[in-house]
Amino acid sequence: MMQRSLSHIVRKSIYCGRYFHTTAVRSTLTQVPMAPPDGVLGLVENYNMDENPNKINLTVGVYKDGWGQVTTFPSVAQAQKIIDMDGQMNTDLSYLPISGCEDFKKHTIDFLYRDGCPHDGPALIDEGRISFVQTLSGTGALAVTAKLISSFISTKIWIPKPSWPNHTNIFKKNGFTDIYNYSYYSEGQLTIDKWLQELRDIVSKDKSGIPNTIVLHACCHNPTGLDPTRKQWEQIIDVIHELKMVPIIDMAYQGLESGNLIDDAYLLRLCLDKSRYRTWPNGLYLCQSFAKNMGLYGERVGSLSIVTPDSIPKIKEILESQLKQIIRSMYSSPPGYGSRVAKLVLSNDKLKYQWYDDVRAMVARLKSVRTMISERLGWEDIINFEQQHGMFYYTNLNPGQVKILRDDFSVYLTNDGRMSLSGVNKSNVDYLCNSIKATLHKMH
């Protein structure tokens, strides 16, 4: 008699008097489907197994220097040395508070709202209108924001099309049930007019009384690298404010647009401009990260700050109480070492000015990469420095062309054609551009 496979059966023993009787119970784990691999990290795994000595990884948004190495910024390295020499700072491994390190909080708020928004920010600090928590980088800030808003304010979110793929994942997994995409980009151009018309047509007709939230890339849009001009941002924020939407600013790349960390906070400054927008009734949410602009990728250093309306008594304390509950249930408290490094860089004038120089040097290298590619391929839009910014460039290569680059030349881009420019340097730019030329010729 053929024996049945019970690989998906759990045996359950039931005590009946003097004997145990074993029954078979079908496991509901068999209903769990296989999740698709991450669109970026899955490609990294393939890259790591590739044996081609000329292989190029242009997938992950991690900054590499001109020799292809992920190196520590001089400002961060100096901060680490100071920490290493301070025995107490280096050996205290106790938990941080739920909302994070108090010194990190003070200096990050000062950096974002005093330095970054000198006209309107200091008053918000002095009036106690900024709720703040340290988070697991920008991704953690978005997740905490999503949980808070979906629990108390809205489950409707607008995300640009295209956008960082994890945006939809984060909001979907944290309570948002109505996820819309607004038109952002098509055939190499921003579609601002279409974007705003969609908001006017749909949001203005929403009579539910529940506000719509919207995700805004502060600068260096991921994946396209293409940002609105300052004038276009004014049009955009005017409409968002008029429609009483709730803005969530994702500022993961501050400094990587212009090389100037303060200049790149322009979207936050615009939203806080009291001469244009007196208040945001449901708050303004800033999800910020030091991963890219300090190179603290694995240390997970970021923050969520909420600019609260001035019309609700004790709203800052109320929101912070809820944020603490959310964080406690997610990961209890943030890690300590990275926040010590960031706090030291922000609080030490010498290190802070060195950091500003580090960011300028990083952006100068990324611009030189754009120029090298443009010279070899004739791609003029890649050096449109008025709107093309940051670490990423949207090549408009289709999935078939991306596959040829990967299979025939071991050049790895994400499937949407996004290129991480920091993976390009003088030693591989010719191989990259020749591979692209050969791919385009093959597809013709």
Active site residues: 164, 250, 292
3-state secondary structure of 366: helix
Q: DSSP string spanning 292-346? A: TTS--TTTTEEEEEEE--TTSTTHHHHHHHHHHHHHHHHTSS--SHHHHHHHHHH
CB-count exposure of residue 7 (10 Å: 0-12, 13-18, 19+)? exposed
Q: Which helix (H) or strand (E) holds 433?
A: helix 429-443
- Distant-in-sequence, close-in-space partners of 146: CB < 8 Å, separation ≥ 6: 157, 170, 171, 173, 174, 175, 176
CB-count exposure of residue 320 (10 Å: 0-12, 13-18, 19+)? middle
| CB 285, CB 306: distance < 8 Å | yes
Which residue pairs, CB below 8 angstroms and at least 24 apart, start in 375-379?
376/429, 376/430, 376/433, 377/433, 377/436, 377/437
Please report where in the chains the tokens 């990324």 appear, as a residue.
366
Distance between CA atoms of 17 and 354, rounded to whole angstroms?
77
Q: DSSP string spanning 270-286? A: HHT-TTT-S--TT-EEE
- Distant-in-sequence, close-in-space partners of 88: CB < 8 Å, separation ≥ 6: none
